[in-house]
Amino acid sequence: MKPISGMDYDAARPSVPISGERGPQKIQRPEDGSKECRPKPVMDEYVPEEEEEPSGGYWLGKDDEGRPKICTVSTDKVDREIKELKEQKQKLEQRLSIETDETEIEDLEGELAQVERELSQKDNDTYRRQHASYTFSS
């Protein structure tokens, strides 16, 4: 079968060995009788890097004895504030339910709306995180 391109690839290889040319050479082993030499496998090497200073604004340090400082977070103050607002809201609702004077009812409704707005702003995780107190101890 002849290739489509019309080129004869066997033309580059002579079918009869050329005089003076040696055939394929055999690989010779070392004469000293030693075992086969294999190159040492390439292994990764651990090179420790120098410890870098943290890039953020907040990081834990170490105390005088080299122990890490421990950070504790407290949301007690925020929780108390929210609890007081909820109690105030409950009292306003009770007063509003028994009040008969129209002007007093309007005043109580205004106060209640203010307390509800304040509660909606403060009774969430974001507010707690922003207003939590952080202490570092060793």
Q: Is residue 90 part of a domain?
A: yes
Query: In degrees rounded to 5, what are phi and psi of residue 84?
Result: -65, -40
Domain residues for the domain of 101 are: 76-138
Residue pair 134/69 in contact (Cβ under 8 Å)? The answer is no
Q: Is residue 124 part of a domain?
A: yes
CA separation, residue 84 to residues 78, 81, 111 (Å): 10, 5, 14
Residue pair 135/72 in contact (Cβ under 8 Å)? The answer is yes
pTM over 0.85: no
Domain count of the chain? 1
pLDDT in tens, 82-138: 999 999 999 999 999 998 888 999 999 999 999 999 999 999 999 998 999 888 776
Residue among 15, 131, 27 at smallest CA distance from 79:
131
